[in-house]
Structure formats: C-alpha cells, structure tokens
Amino acid sequence: MTKTFKKDVEGCNNDTEKVRLIAISCLSISVKIRMKHFSVEQFLRDNNLMITPQMIMKMEFNILHEIRWTIRPVTPFTYLNFYYRYFKRFGGYSRRCINEIIVQAQGDHTFVHYPPTMIASTAFLAASRIAYPSKYNNIAHPEALARLGPKAQVLQCAKKILKLCRRMKIRVEIPRIQIPRIQIPESRVGSTSSKVVAVPEKQTEYRRAKAAAVVVDSSEEEEEGTALIRRKRNTGKTSETSQVQVEVKVVDKSDKKGVATEEIEAENRSLAKGEEKAVEVTEASKEEGTALIRRKQDMGKTTGTSQVQVPVKAEEVMVVNKSDKKGVATEEIEAENPSLAKGKEKAVEVTETSADDKARVQAIIRRALEKGKAVVGEEPQTQIGGSVSEILELVAPKKLMMFELRWPMEVPLLEALDIKQALPEVEEEEEQESQTDDKGTDEIKNCGCNIG
C-alpha cells in the first residue's frame, strides 16, 4: 500500500494526515455510492480539513484501482430474500429489525470471520428466537440448520447474534396484526408438550403463519385470491371481446366491399357525436372535481352495460353482415332493429382504435401526465410499480435503515488494541449470559442443538 500511495499523499506532512486522507477517501467513495447528493467539498470545509478535493479524487482513484473497483461487496443483505423464503413460513419478520441485527453485527469484530450467508440466516434465527420462542424448535430444526452451513458454525454464530441482540437491546418487532395470533400457541405449548398434540398444532400454526404471511408480504397471498377472480373476469371478458372482434372484422370486410351505405356512415357520425359527448362529459367532470367523479363512474357503468349487450347481439349482427355481403339493402335491417345497429356501432368503437381514438388517448395522457408529474414529485415513496421483492415491500423504504447505530464510537487507546487479550473476556461474559438465558428454554437442547 505504501508504495502505491506514496506519491499521492504528497500534500500530507505526517502519517496521521496520510491515514486521514486515505480514510476520508474510502468514506467518500462509499457515501457517494449510497447517496447521490453528498458534497465532498462541503464535508472537507465543515471539518476544517487541510485536504483539497483534488487530493481526494486522486486518492479515490488509487484506492479503486487497488481494489479493482469492486465496491459492491456481497453482504448479508444480499441473501435476506433467499432465506426469507424459509422463515416466512413461521411468521412475519420486520425487515428493519433484520437489517438492524446485521448492521450491528458488522460493527462487532467477532463476526468478521463468518460468511455473509451465515450472518443473514442467523439474523433470522435470532429474530425468530426472540419473536417466536415457542416456534423456535420448529424453525431451528436440525435438518434446517444443517442446510444453513456447518452445524457447529451455524450454532455458534446464531448464539453470538442472539447475544448481540440482547446486549444491544435490539427490539425485534413483529408485524402488527400478528401479535394476538402468536399468543395463543404460546399458551398451548406451555400446557402440552407431547408430540401427539404437536401435529395438529403444527397445522394450525402453519395456517396461522399463512394468514400472517398475508400481513407480511401483503401481495403474494392476496394476489392469489384476486388472481382467481381476475382470471374469471378475464375469461368472461375475453370471450366478450373476442366475439366483438370477430364481429368487427366482418363489419370491416363488408365495409371494404363497399356495401356500407351512406346511411351507416351517417349513423356513424351521429353515434360518433354521442361518443364525443360522452368523452367530453367524462373529461369535464374530471376537471370539475371529485364530486363529479361519481357521475362519471356511473356513466362508465352504463357504457359498461351497453358493452355487455354487444356480444349478445354479435351473432345477430353477423347474420346481418352476411346479408350485407349478399348485397341486401341495409335500410330494412336498420329499420327493423335500430338498437342492433347501435350495438354494432359500439362494437366498432370499442375495438377499433381509430385515428380519433388515438388522438383522444394521447390528449388524455398528455394532460394527465403533466398533472401526474406533480403528484409523483410530491409523493415519490408510494408503493407501486415493479415490486423489487416481497420483503423489500414490507416497510416503507425510508424506514428500513432507521435505527440507532450502537457501534463503539470512542477511539480505543493503542494499548487497548490488543485484541487477543480482550477477546476471551468478552467470550466469558457471553458464556454466563447464555447460561441464564437457556434455563428458560430447554427446547433448543431437545432438538439436538448444544448451545450451553
């Protein structure tokens, strides 16, 4: 390191200044990746540092060159969604809590040697231990644990994380509505410990977990339900539309053949006028305000019903068209059932996107998007659009990292930096703590995990 950086720490007088430059450059790289609006210049000025932005830039380049620009490390966060698939069966987890556990663990040097996957999975384990003590046996099932990594290492890491949670007093929240659901099984477990009861218990628990999952992912389960309805609706609709489309094609053909008479055109016009009016009304009502939206919606309903009528008449229309092709005068038919003609017209308007329609659509979009922009600008956090992942949607993005950082902030004296000496003491303390903790919960030992 010294070789590479020698020429770039020229502005620095002593080692402290050099290290400071390197440290600040590391910080500025990482902070810029996180937040776009960080001002290095401001930071340097605020802290009265004798460092220029040019020095920072050069040092940043050197650091990046040395680490080959790999500034997107794999972290435990990367694996949260993966492990969540297993843990969500047992209940809800607040993403913010899991994040907090991981971040606090990053500040603890004893976790340095664990791979990120292990930190991620044990963070879930620790959270479940605190939030769902009664289910912990099921969650930390030996088979499940074996899949998380080398058993001894997993258990050790889980233990450490749990202790960290307790030491740092990390509050493990459970998504709200779940709390009453969890209290019930707890009491049951207390009274019945036999395996026979455990089977139905498991089932109900699963059901509950499923119900809870709705609260948590809010999308998945709900979607399943609505998907069915939607599919039903869609099948209904597609059959409608397909009929209508077939119909229109026939109409088009007959038009091409020149059978379409002026009368039809005339009626087209009148109907088009009606349509225009409808559009005008809807648009006007929209502009007028919310009170009028209802009227518009009602109108929508009426048009909706008229649409539904279309397919019913579609067959009749087809017959009509056949006769059209044959060159039979259209007057008669129109006279016979004017309503049918109307239906026909409607069908045409609904399916065919004429140039007029295009203009209409564009007008609506243009007008709305200018309004819409303002709305989006004000409230950019609304949850919509492409779901990034189930778990990410749980909490409003802003709050995901809202917690107090409890890393040791004071700079230790050089003598205290002898980590080897300091380590065993910490371990002993943890040992004692764990013994008291484990007295209450023997389940863990029962399931083959020797935590003690």
Partner 1 sequence: MEEIVHLGIPFLTPDQWDVITPAYKDFELIRSEGPRFGDMFKCKLKSTKEVVAMKILTIPEDQKSNGIPYSILNHVSILKTLNHPNILKLHTVLRTDLDVEDVFLVFEYIDVSLKKFLATPFPIDVIKLGKPFLRQALSGLAYLHVQKIIHRNLKPNNILLSFQNHEISKLKLTDFGVAKSIEPPLSPYSINMGNPCYKAPELLLGFTNYSTAVDIWSMGCIFAEMIKLQPLFIGNDGPKILTEIFCLLGTPTEENWPGVASLCSFIQAFDPPIKPKDLAAEFPKLEPDGLDLLSRMLCLCPNSRISAVEALEHPYLRP
- Measuring CA to CA, how many Å separate 362 from each of 242, 280, 303, 368, 369? 25, 15, 21, 10, 10
Q: Looking at 85, 202, 237, 273, which residue binds partner 1 (CB under 8 A)?
A: 237
Q: Looking at 385, 408, 424, 440, which residue binds partner 1 (CB under 8 A)?
A: 385
Tell me phi and psi for residue 361, to 5 degrees.
Answer: -55, -45
Amino acid at 291: A
With contact defined as beta carbons under 8 Å apart, do 4 and 66 qualify?
yes
Task: Please give the Cα distance from 109 to 102 (Å, whole number).
Answer: 13
- Footprint on residues 5-44 left by partner 1 (CB under 8 A): 25, 28-29, 32-33, 36, 38-41
Check residue 294 for interaction with partner 1 (CB under 8 A): no
Smaller CB separation from partner 1, 62 or 268: 62
* Shortest spacing between CB 223 and partner 1, in angstroms: 8
Task: Please give the Cα distance from 217 to 394 (Å, whole number).
Answer: 6
Check residue 282 for interaction with partner 1 (CB under 8 A): yes
Q: Which of 241, 256, 247, 236 is nearest to 345 (CA)?
A: 247
Stretch in the footprint of partner 1 (CB under 8 A) among 51-59, 108-116, 175-183, 266-274? 51-59
Helix (H, G, I), strand (E, B) or coil at 11: coil
- Measuring CA to CA, how many Å separate 387 from each of 78, 124, 183, 391? 16, 22, 32, 10
- Footprint on residues 390-429 left by partner 1 (CB under 8 A): 392, 397-398, 400-401
Stretch in the footprint of partner 1 (CB under 8 A) among 119-127, 298-306, 315-323, 408-416? 298-306
- Footprint on residues 243-272 left by partner 1 (CB under 8 A): 244-245
Residue 407: half-sphere exposure toward Cβ, Cα within 13 Å: 14
- Footprint on residues 340-369 left by partner 1 (CB under 8 A): 350-351, 353, 357-358, 361-362, 364-369
Q: Looking at 383, 421, 435, 446, which residue binds partner 1 (CB under 8 A)?
A: 383
Q: Looking at 26, 77, 166, 403, which residue binds partner 1 (CB under 8 A)?
A: 77
Task: Please give the Cα distance from 244 to 250 (Å, whole number).
Answer: 10
Q: Looking at 19, 23, 50, 71, which residue binds partner 1 (CB under 8 A)?
A: 71
Task: Please give the Cα distance from 451 to 155 (Å, whole number).
Answer: 7
Amino acid at 65: H
- Footprint on residues 201-220 left by partner 1 (CB under 8 A): 219
Check residue 70 for interaction with partner 1 (CB under 8 A): yes
Please give the size of the binding site for partner 1, defined by CB under 8 A: 80
Q: Looking at 104, 121, 243, 307, which residue binds partner 1 (CB under 8 A)?
A: 307
Smaller CB separation from partner 1, 187 or 362: 362
- Footprint on residues 97-116 left by partner 1 (CB under 8 A): 99
Say what the alpha-carbon torsion angle 139, 144, 150, 154 is, to the nearest 10 degrees.
-10
Smaller CB separation from partner 1, 54 or 191: 54
Task: Please give the Cα distance from 104 to 401 (Å, whole number).
Answer: 11
